[in-house]
A and B are shown apart, each in its own frame.
Chain A
Amino acid sequence: MSNIAVTDTAMPSTAAKPFLTRLGAGFVNRLVIIVPYLWLLFFFLIPFVIVFKISLSQTAIAMPPYTPVLDFKGGVSGFFAGFRNLNFDNYVWLTQDALYFKAYVTSVIIAAISTLLTLIVGYPIAYGMSRAPATIRPTLLMLVILPFWTSFLIRVYAWIGILKPEGLLNQLLLSLHIINQPLVILNTYTAIFIGIVYSYLPFMVLPLYSSLEKMDYSLIEAAKDLGCPPTSAFWKITFPLSVPGVIAGCLLVFIPAVGEFVIPDLLGGSSTLMIGKTLWNEFFANRDWPVSSAVAVILLLLLTVPIMLFQQAQAKAQEQDK
């Protein structure tokens, strides 16, 4: 009986709902999804296709500095005729010159070491923040973000002043008689590590903080109660539960660090070899757009494929957990 009564009253209300309103709601819903995808299409996918196309072209002394240039002057058939001149020569070239391979490998290694260092520095900061009294947490959070208010370039330049032989660090160490002669840090890989750790620290701290902050402290108490000393409780409870934050932070540091150009250029000097610098040289020193485009495409693949595989594995693990 009561069921009938419910449907009786519900029926007219749905029927009375204006058709346009329902259409409108669906349209707004779709628009919300469409807009970001359009954004990605115009500002990521299309530029990428253009870069990929350039990587298949040949260098030329012209404007722009490569052939063939695709245009519609020769009609549709002329446009497609241009495709026949595209080939993978530039990619073959990348495998022939050991410079590129070495640059990729060094970049990945430097990025990996820097990511690890950032994690080691960032974890205690994030942990301390998450255990700080709730009243001062917003302040601590703001202090982490504060460096972003100054230009990235200026901050990296400032490090030159600190690290150079007659810089602040060496002056301090000399005046304290810890060292007798200035340390050579600038223009070495150490300087690159310092630069990357410093610049990317917030990207590590923020996701770590968010995963540590929502952790229930009674879990640690429960572990202690069951006979687990504090250090062991950290490795058995706190760290495993913060793994999503660790992964997010590491990806946020590792990905941009691999292609980093400014830091190795300013702090690493001329002898350091990283793929971002190689890319820049190809573009601006050699004006070889096709080869540098090929370098960029390979770099992108190098970074996205492992991440995609990783995400797939994670999704599968989550599926099994349900």
Chain B
Amino acid sequence: MKSLGSIRRDFAPWNDPNAKPYIQFENVTKKFGDFTAVNNLSLTIFEREFFALLGASGCGKSTLLRMLAGFEEPTAGRILLDGQDLRGIPPYRRPVNMMFQSYALFPHMTVEKNIAFGLKQEGMPGPDIEKRVAEMLKLVKLEQFAKRKPHQLSGGQRQRVALARSVAKRPKVLLLDEPLGALDKKLREETQFELMDLQQNLGLTFVVVTHDQEEAMTMADRIAIIDKGEVMQVATPAEVYEAPASRFVAHFVGNVNMFEGKVAERSANTTRITGPSGAQIVVENGGGAAAANADIVFAIRPEKIKVSSKKPADAVNALEGEVYDVAYLGDMTVYHIRLDDGQIIRASALNAARVTEDPLTWNDRAWVSFRPDAGVVLAR
């Protein structure tokens, strides 16, 4: 049997042109009165994928999930699950289950009865239900809480009951609406890995809605960034972070510095950009080819910028400024450097050594430097 790690390593159906899509949103639009929650959106999700819909609140990501569950019908377009059009199928006949943000545990039923609820609806015979419930309780490590009612459990335990109840029926797809939103930070981080292992072990397709980018990055195989009811980018966490498709995505996921400027000179591989103050940087072209004199931005992550007190001898791009702010976070230090042209650059340095020989502090002169391939060129 293959280890979970090796399954994850090789899992990339989205790169396989022959892979059969499992869930398809085809030009889906959803309107509530005048408000367009989802605007002509298309999206493909593969079997066994852990897919995250990431976006700010009100961006339409929950509406997508509710349309998949059957609580809302699309105004236009269609949703296919395993080739079957879901239009008109009520939620209680869809082979998907949802874990609700509020957990929606039935307060008048014990943990056991909550988990058994869906199985009873299915008409599963009594002994089989008992077996499945015991299995689920073991899976979420709540065996000794079987007879408790939801109000007698902690937040983390309730979350696990909700999870057990939603996977008990072995749905084709499990929908998770902000599954970890109500947990505290530490528990949330632990649960993220538990959820990933559970998804792999059960071999289910997970679609998770979240506004927490860290959560999406940790758990998901692919992330769809949603804004105003439209997909901004669908890619693996690494691609979303390292190669954002637009300014919006670059800003939305993680921290980013933007150098605005005009294309001054283009060679086969590199572009020279002139900033408003005349400062020039040289960057690699990457995928986006920009015409000469075009307005562009160069987006670069803080950890890819080096801060030093002297100008690095071999750096292609080096800009001088002054330390404006320093935040020591333990594992790393975040510097805000005000360049001489006024722009503030955010740079972070890993604190690999316990004591730094040359600590930079407020008002020190400093140089920021970065490699030409450390960022991406985006349209303005």
Residues of A within 8 A of B (CB): 216, 218-219, 221-229, 232, 236-237, 240-241, 321-322
Measured between beta carbons, the chain B residues less than 8 angstroms from A229 are: 90, 92
Return the chain A residue nearest B97 by Cβ: A225
- Whole-angstrom distance from the CB of A235 to the nearest CB of chain B? 12
**A236 to B122 alpha-carbon distance, docked (Å):** 15
- Whole-angstrom distance from the CB of B67 to the nearest CB of chain A? 13
Measured between beta carbons, the chain A residues less than 8 angstroms from B98 are: 221-222, 225
17 contacts between A and B (CB under 8 A): A221-B91, A222-B105, A223-B117, A224-B71, A224-B90, A224-B91, A225-B69, A225-B70, A225-B166, A226-B118, A226-B165, A227-B121, A227-B169, A228-B117, A232-B121, A240-B108, A321-B149
Q: Is the CB of B108 within 8 A of A218?
A: no
Q: Is the CB of B91 within 8 A of A225?
A: yes
Measured between beta carbons, the chain A residues less than 8 angstroms from B97 are: 225-226
Measured between beta carbons, the chain A residues less than 8 angstroms from B107 are: 219, 241
Chain B 59-97, CB-CB to A under 8 Å as 1, else 0, gives 000000000011100000000000000000011110011
Interface centre among B71, B117, B166 (most CB of A within 10 A): B117
Return the chain A residue nearest B101 by Cβ: A218
**A224 to B118 alpha-carbon distance, docked (Å):** 9
**A237 to B108 alpha-carbon distance, docked (Å):** 8
Chain B 105-145, CB-CB to A under 8 Å as 1, else 0, gives 11110000000011001100000000000000000000000
- 8 nearest A-B pairs in the assembled complex, by CB-CB distance: A226-B118, A227-B121, A222-B104, A218-B104, A224-B91, A224-B92, A225-B98, A227-B92
Return the chain A residue nearest B66 by Cβ: A221
Given A226-B165, A226-B169, A321-B149: A216 in contact with B121 (beta carbons within 8 A):
no
Q: Is the CB of B102 within 8 A of A226?
A: no
Measured between beta carbons, the chain B residues less than 8 angstroms from A236 are: 117
Whether, in the assembled complex, B100 has its beta carbon less than 8 Å from a beta carbon of chain A, the answer is yes
Return the chain B residue nearest A218 by Cβ: B104
Measured between beta carbons, the chain A residues less than 8 angstroms from B117 are: 223, 226, 228, 236
Q: Is the CB of B106 within 8 A of A222?
A: yes
- Whole-angstrom distance from the CB of A172 to the nearest CB of chain B? 40
**A241 to B104 alpha-carbon distance, docked (Å):** 13
**A218 to B102 alpha-carbon distance, docked (Å):** 8
Given A227-B122, A240-B108: A222 in contact with B100 (beta carbons within 8 A):
yes
Q: In the complex, which of the residues B70, B121, B149 contacts A226, with contact meaning CB atoms closer than 8 Å?
A: B121
- Whole-angstrom distance from the CB of B93 to the nearest CB of chain A? 8
- Whole-angstrom distance from the CB of A244 to the nearest CB of chain B? 11
Q: Is the CB of A221 within 8 A of B92?
A: no
- Whole-angstrom distance from the CB of A221 to the nearest CB of chain B? 6
Measured between beta carbons, the chain B residues less than 8 angstroms from A218 are: 100, 102, 104
Measured between beta carbons, the chain A residues less than 8 angstroms from B102 are: 216, 218
Q: Is the CB of B108 within 8 A of A241?
A: yes
Measured between beta carbons, the chain B residues less than 8 angstroms from A322 are: 152
Interface centre among B91, B100, B122 (most CB of A within 10 A): B91
Q: Is the CB of A219 within 8 A of B92?
A: no
Measured between beta carbons, the chain A residues less than 8 angstroms from B104 are: 216, 218-219, 221-222
**A225 to B121 alpha-carbon distance, docked (Å):** 10
Q: In the complex, which of the residues A221, A237, A321 contacts B100, with contact meaning CB atoms closer than 8 Å?
A: A221
**A236 to B108 alpha-carbon distance, docked (Å):** 10
- Whole-angstrom distance from the CB of B109 to the nearest CB of chain A? 9
Return the chain B residue nearest A227 by Cβ: B121
Measured between beta carbons, the chain B residues less than 8 angstroms from A232 are: 121
Given A221-B71, A225-B69, A227-B122: A237 in contact with B92 (beta carbons within 8 A):
no
**A5 to B345 alpha-carbon distance, docked (Å):** 44
Measured between beta carbons, the chain A residues less than 8 angstroms from B105 are: 222
**A17 to B91 alpha-carbon distance, docked (Å):** 63
Measured between beta carbons, the chain A residues less than 8 angstroms from B149 are: 321
**A218 to B93 alpha-carbon distance, docked (Å):** 17
Measured between beta carbons, the chain B residues less than 8 angstroms from A219 are: 104, 106-107
Measured between beta carbons, the chain A residues less than 8 angstroms from B93 are: 227
**A237 to B106 alpha-carbon distance, docked (Å):** 7
**A259 to B90 alpha-carbon distance, docked (Å):** 49
Chain B 178-194, CB-CB to A under 8 Å as 1, else 0, gives 00000000000000000
- Whole-angstrom distance from the CB of B102 to the nearest CB of chain A? 5
Q: Is the CB of A227 within 8 A of B118?
A: yes
Interface centre among A216, A223, A225 (most CB of B within 10 A): A225
- Whole-angstrom distance from the CB of B138 to the nearest CB of chain A? 20
Interface centre among B92, B93, B117, B118 (most CB of A within 10 A): B92
Measured between beta carbons, the chain A residues less than 8 angstroms from B71 are: 221, 224
**A221 to B177 alpha-carbon distance, docked (Å):** 13
Measured between beta carbons, the chain A residues less than 8 angstroms from B100 are: 218, 221-222
**A232 to B90 alpha-carbon distance, docked (Å):** 14
Interface centre among A224, A228, A241, A322 (most CB of B within 10 A): A224
Measured between beta carbons, the chain B residues less than 8 angstroms from A227 are: 92-93, 118, 121-122, 169
Return the chain B residue nearest A232 by Cβ: B121
Measured between beta carbons, the chain B residues less than 8 angstroms from A225 are: 69-70, 91-92, 96-98, 166
- Whole-angstrom distance from the CB of B40 to the nearest CB of chain A? 26
Q: Is the CB of A228 within 8 A of B108?
A: no
**A222 to B70 alpha-carbon distance, docked (Å):** 11
**A241 to B108 alpha-carbon distance, docked (Å):** 7
Interface centre among A226, A227, A232, A321 (most CB of B within 10 A): A226
- Whole-angstrom distance from the CB of A256 to the nearest CB of chain B? 30
- Whole-angstrom distance from the CB of A110 to the nearest CB of chain B? 32
**A179 to B228 alpha-carbon distance, docked (Å):** 62
Return the chain A residue nearest B118 by Cβ: A226
Measured between beta carbons, the chain A residues less than 8 angstroms from B152 are: 322
**A236 to B118 alpha-carbon distance, docked (Å):** 12
